[in-house]
Structure 1
Amino acid sequence: MVAVFNKDLLSWYLITLKLRETVDQNLPKSGPSSPVHSIPALSQSATHPLTNGESHDNPNPDSNSNQDARQTVVEIEPVTNIIPSPISQTTSTEPHDSWITSIKQRLHEAGEIETKNPWTKLSIYRIPETLREGDEKSFVPQMVSIGPFHHGKEKLREMEQHKWRAMHRMLHRTGHEIDRYINAIRPLEEKVRSCYEGHVTMQSHELILCLVLDGTFVLELFRGATSRNGFTELGYSHHDPVFATRCAMHSIQRDMIMLENQIPLFVLDRLFAIQLDQKEHAGLVARLAICFFDPLMPTDEPLKRRDRARMESSIHKSINAMFDPLSEAGLHCLDVFRRSLLRNGPKPVPPPVWLRKWSRRNRPVADKRRQQFIHCVSELRDAGITCRRKITDKFWDISFESRGVLRIPRILIHDGTKSLFLNLIAFEQCHPDTANNMITSYVIFMDNLINTEEDVRYLHDQGIIEHWLGDDNEVAELFSRLCQEVVFDFNDSYLSHLSDHVNRYYRSRWNAWKASKHSGLETHFQPNNAAQGDDDEVLLGE
């Protein structure tokens, strides 16, 4: 027993007792073995007078002053565990173990993706931000969407009704039901999804309908462009707002050649084979695509009339007798168009092994100063090199003659050339299997040749450049814009060997000019970059 001679302690005890009662009311009833902490109660002798034989009550009501001076004696049992102790908190490893488990799960998923290697099937890419910056219209369709990337955009919905008209016209002409095409494309869904970069968010039925609807629209355009009587042969009116309007057709062609606006070629092959009630043949649609996109060719030497006639007539003949301008099956329309541009293209001549070993220029770089193929036209002319037109329909087929003549095929530049080249370059930048990056090489070579509008004017006078732009300065700016943010390996270019010859000739004539200058024969002209020769030797590997 403990005697407490303090009113404050008694007050705390009473508060504790009240707390005990509250806790007991909230806890469930427990058996004798329940570890419920007890709070001691007041003993029966909890109140005793301070003096012997004195009652707790004050018999003298007038003695209040003495009561204040007295202390109350309280006898209590030893107070232990007055307040129930909280549940013990041990350090748990559960959150840490869960975190480690989630990391291992992510690593397992990454390993499965690595094993499947889905990147080998990619062929339709999103344009990198570095290439699209400031030039959205060159990569984003303005009139018609093809495929899932731009499907459902507000400004492109007007063309949807014409896609449904094309579907209705095709079904009426063939006598088929729509189920036949839906069921034919459904098994290709996963293969189609693997062709697109990133996750295609469209639901299964939505994607299949998009492929059938867009694919049918594309095939109607292709067939109308290759038919002898045009779209009237397919049942369309002469006044049709889409299938009979040349202005609309040019805009549609420009949209359909964009990298983000493609559907896989094997989908078009499957749909076209059903329309013709034939077995599916790879490459059948590719020949139609070449004829359809022929107006976009960057040359005024169009597809030869004989080849075009053979291609058109082969549509209704056996596949074995068809004219085949392509060595391999294409991936989509942009790839087919690129292959047709580069048919029978040259293979690059690699530099010497010792040069690849010791030179840093064999690394892909984005620095434009490291993309210098050749001097500009004005500087080449100062060294005695002239540019002449080469008669060929292959705009990339550039050659150099030992007597100092650079032969360049004619190129036609119109309002769609910029978008065409940008998408071709973007495809070569994104797709690892575009051999030699020939379009990129050609554009960078031309950008090196053209520095000013005077260079453009000279090439125009020589019959090399024909353009429908505002002035010559726009052409110079066009080539400069095409080469921005482009990663390029000089060693892989088909023009690297030719550039070495041109620059070797340039330096020999340049040294002769410098010698004549020092001898006093030439004092009236000072070139702009007389100190650039040594840098070019390092850059071009001489």
Structure 2
Amino acid sequence: MVAVYNKELLSWYLITLKLREKLQNAETSDQPEQQQQARLQLPCEPLQVMVNGECRRPEEIQILQSPANPQESEWIISIKEKLERASNDDVAGSWTKISIYRIPHFLRDQGLGEEKEKAYVPQVVSIGPYHRGSHRLQSMERHKCRALHYMLKRKRQSIKLYLEAMQDLEDRARACYEGPLSLTSNEFVEMLVLDGCFILEFFRGYTEGFESLGYERNDPIFAMRGMMYSIRRDMMMIENQIPLFVLDKLILLQLGDQNQKSVVADLAIIFFDPLSPIDEPLTARQMTKLKSSLHSNTMAFHPLSDQAGLHCLDVFRRSLLRKGPEAVPRHWFRKWSRRNLVADHRRTQLIHCVTDLKESGIKFKKRKTDRFWDIKFKNGVFHIPRLLVHDGTKSLFLNLVAFEQSHLDCTNDITAYVVFMDNLIDSAQDVNYLHYCGILEHWLGNDAEVADMFNHLCREVVFDINDSYLAKVSEEVNRYYDHRWNAWRASLKHKYFYNPWAVISFLAAVFLLLLTGAQTFYSVFAYYEPPIEHKEGSFLPIF
């Protein structure tokens, strides 16, 4: 122990310690809280350990050091990122702009297997971004460049003009496709120019003649050859489209006429007319009007009326349904209502097959009209327009049905017709009878292939029975079918009145039956009422 004998020196020492303590407190007040805690750490209680400036028990340290919290934080961060991406995808109005869809998996995976896959996937040429880059379609890319070269040379224009025009439409065109696209801006613009000019060269070449556009007569692609059919079929697929406004802009740059708004639609109708299921093609008068619209300001037949077309498939669908039933566009709550919708194929039975309807007395007659969907039923007679089934009919109907299933702002008229024909046709016998009546004509191998095609067209298709233009016809047919007297009358006619000799035999049998009945009656009457015997000399009363 040190003794201090100078009291003044001791007092000055204490004053110095006080001042030093105040200065330290002033310095620590300006520093961060964590540094203050680090400097002013107090010793922990027994069985506690200092962790990050705080006293913790061993069990608390294990909880803090367990891997649950870091994983939970990463999990929450990933969910927030997903929600942020979903918010970006769900931009106001983004879904309403989509018009070119991918085939839903439930339609692609069901049905005819590899044959149905070929009906959805292009086999020769890719149009649009969905199948761009496919290895087996690369051979057609050089012909696209060749078509663009011929067009620029013929018009004496620069490629820069078309690229700049497509750059202005890039965002609008991207919004028409479903899902994100992997193409860069330059690749997407290049695709619009190449594919759009390729389509227009085919349209104009088919209408005006490829030789007039500068192509050789024996050109392997741009000529009236077998390749034309395969290209036409590929250009009708829902996944193989580009927006119609892109084609309108490109043809505007080629023709330079602001007034011709329906040129592309008219050219598309002419080009795709051979795929039509209508037995009678466009008449020469209709063809002349459509061709003249290319060089005139007057609008010929225009399937779009006052509505903007979406793409070539939509234009052709509207042309098939011209003057058709104007059904109200479907709404999402009607589309997914389980009360009205039918997804089970066993419950889509609107009417019975042809064989059953025949037995109930219903007749079938061909209706003379160019609208294959316009079916009528009156007084027990089906009036059905003639339908032509060829190699491209299956692909056409499948893509039209897929488009109606995907695009909510269009009617389901094609789907309703296909489902109706699916109900009518169950077997080769049904196809044979419709062919006998002149209603169905096909170029396939046999009647069984036609029946199998219709029986697979609408598998897994969601169809609203009440939202069909054929709902009233189906109701009238079922009411007639359920009436027993009609079935009895039909059975009588089928068994006893199928030819004149059968009629004579039936009448003779009826006559003999009447005679037998009369003989039996008089025999019974004579038994119960014997004749009256008269005595000799008696007179019978005279009346």
Q: TM-score surpassing 0.5?
A: yes
Structure 1 length normalisation: TM-score?
0.74
Cα deviation code 1:288-337 (max 9, x no counterpart)? 1000000000012112221221110110111x444423322210000001
Partner of 1:129: 105
Contact 2:127 2:241 in 1 (8 A): yes
Q: How is 1:59-70 mapped onto 2 (pairs within 5 angstroms)?
A: none
Partner of 1:424: 400
Deviation at 1:362, TM superposition (A): 4.8
Deviation at 1:512, TM superposition (A): 5.0
1:441 correspondence with 2:416: yes
Partner of 1:47: none
Identity %: 53
Partner amino acid, structure 2, of 1:388: K
SS of equivalent residue, structure 1 residue 476 = helix
Cα deviation code 1:247-267 (max 9, x no counterpart)? 100000000000000000000
Partner of 1:219: 200
Contact 2:163 2:190 in 1 (8 A): yes
Deviation at 1:414, TM superposition (A): 0.7
Q: C-alpha distance in 2, partners of 1:516/1:434?
A: 41
Partner amino acid, structure 2, of 1:182: L
Partner of 2:532: none
1:364 correspondence with 2:327: no
Query: What CA RMSD, in Å, does the superposition of the two structures yield over aligned residues?
Result: 3.2
Give the direction of change, closer, same or farther, for the CA distance of 1:465–1:522 in structure 2 (3 Å limit).
closer
Q: C-alpha distance in 1, partners of 2:476/2:370?
A: 24
Deviation at 1:235, TM superposition (A): 0.8
Give the direction of change, closer, same or farther, for the CA distance of 1:406–1:109 in structure 2 (3 Å limit).
same
Q: C-alpha distance in 1, partners of 2:274/2:225?
A: 11
Match of 1:405 among 381, 384, 390: 381
Contact 2:210 2:223 in 1 (8 A): yes
Match of 1:173 among 150, 154, 158: 154
Partner amino acid, structure 2, of 1:284: V
Cα deviation code 1:396-445 (max 9, x no counterpart)? 0110112x11011111111111111000000011110112x011110111
Match of 2:453 among 466, 478, 500: 478
Partner of 2:282: 303
Match of 1:469 among 438, 444, 452: 444
SS of equivalent residue, structure 1 residue 266 = helix
Q: C-alpha distance in 2, partners of 1:511/1:392?
A: 32
Contact 1:185 1:267 in 2 (8 A): yes
Match of 2:240 among 258, 261, 269: 261
Partner of 2:86: 110
Contact 1:299 1:411 in 2 (8 A): yes
Structure 2 length normalisation: TM-score?
0.74
Deviation at 1:108, TM superposition (A): 4.8
Q: C-alpha distance in 1, partners of 2:369/2:489?
A: 39
Cα deviation code 1:205-254 (max 9, x no counterpart)? 01110110010000000001111xx1111111110111114210000000
Deviation at 1:104, TM superposition (A): 4.5
Match of 2:225 among 235, 246, 251: 246
Partner of 2:135: 154
Partner amino acid, structure 1, of 2:455: S
Aligned residues: 433
Contact 2:100 2:238 in 1 (8 A): yes
Deviation at 1:103, TM superposition (A): 3.7
SS of equivalent residue, structure 1 residue 165 = helix
Q: C-alpha distance in 2, partners of 1:98/1:281?
A: 58
Q: C-alpha distance in 2, partners of 1:188/1:197?
A: 17
Contact 2:481 2:487 in 1 (8 A): no
User: Which stretches in structure 1 are left out of the alignment for 5+ residues?
Assistant: 1-32, 36-79, 351-356, 524-542
Q: C-alpha distance in 2, partners of 1:289/1:513?
A: 48
Contact 1:362 1:489 in 2 (8 A): no
Match of 1:277 among 238, 256, 259: 256
User: Which stretches in structure 2 are left out of the alignment for 5+ residues?
Assistant: 1-37, 41-45, 497-543
Deviation at 1:202, TM superposition (A): 0.6
Contact 2:303 2:315 in 1 (8 A): no
Q: C-alpha distance in 1, partners of 2:296/2:442?
A: 39
Give the direction of change, closer, same or farther, for the CA distance of 1:202–1:445 in structure 2 (3 Å limit).
same
Deviation at 1:100, TM superposition (A): 4.2
Partner of 1:286: 265
SS of equivalent residue, structure 1 residue 466 = strand
Q: C-alpha distance in 1, partners of 2:240/2:320?
A: 20
Q: How is 1:301-340 mapped onto 2 (pairs within 5 angstroms)?
A: 301-318=280-297, 320-327=298-305, 328-340=307-319
Contact 1:283 1:329 in 2 (8 A): no
Contact 1:374 1:445 in 2 (8 A): yes
Contact 2:203 2:271 in 1 (8 A): yes
Deviation at 1:86, TM superposition (A): 8.3
Partner of 2:472: 497
SS of equivalent residue, structure 2 residue 90 = helix
Q: C-alpha distance in 2, partners of 1:417/1:392?
A: 19
Q: C-alpha distance in 1, partners of 2:166/2:388?
A: 39
Partner amino acid, structure 2, of 1:377: V
Give the direction of change, closer, same or farther, for the CA distance of 1:240–1:96 in structure 2 (3 Å limit).
same
1:187 correspondence with 2:163: no
Partner of 1:144: 125
Q: C-alpha distance in 2, partners of 1:283/1:516?
A: 52
Partner amino acid, structure 1, of 2:343: A
Contact 1:366 1:487 in 2 (8 A): yes
Contact 2:263 2:293 in 1 (8 A): no
Q: C-alpha distance in 2, partners of 1:163/1:515?
A: 64
SS of equivalent residue, structure 1 residue 192 = helix
Match of 2:216 among 237, 241, 256: 237
Match of 1:204 among 185, 190, 204: 185
Give the direction of change, closer, same or farther, for the CA distance of 1:244–1:108 in structure 2 (3 Å limit).
closer
Deviation at 1:346, TM superposition (A): 1.8
Contact 1:182 1:208 in 2 (8 A): yes
Partner of 1:392: 369
Q: C-alpha distance in 1, partners of 2:490/2:446?
A: 38
Give the direction of change, closer, same or farther, for the CA distance of 1:390–1:118 in structure 2 (3 Å limit).
same
Contact 1:348 1:495 in 2 (8 A): no
Contact 1:266 1:282 in 2 (8 A): no
Q: C-alpha distance in 2, partners of 1:329/1:433?
A: 12
SS of equivalent residue, structure 2 residue 226 = helix
Give the direction of change, closer, same or farther, for the CA distance of 1:361–1:210 in structure 2 (3 Å limit).
closer
Partner of 2:528: none
Contact 1:388 1:464 in 2 (8 A): yes
Cα deviation code 1:7-28 (max 9, x no counterpart)? xxxxxxxxxxxxxxxxxxxxxx
Contact 2:262 2:299 in 1 (8 A): no
Partner of 1:534: none
Deviation at 1:117, TM superposition (A): 3.2
Partner of 1:30: none
Q: How is 1:9-158 mapped onto 2 (pairs within 5 angstroms)?
A: 89=61, 91=64, 96=72, 99-100=75-76, 103-104=79-80, 106-133=82-109, 134=113, 135-158=116-139
Q: C-alpha distance in 2, partners of 1:335/1:215?
A: 16
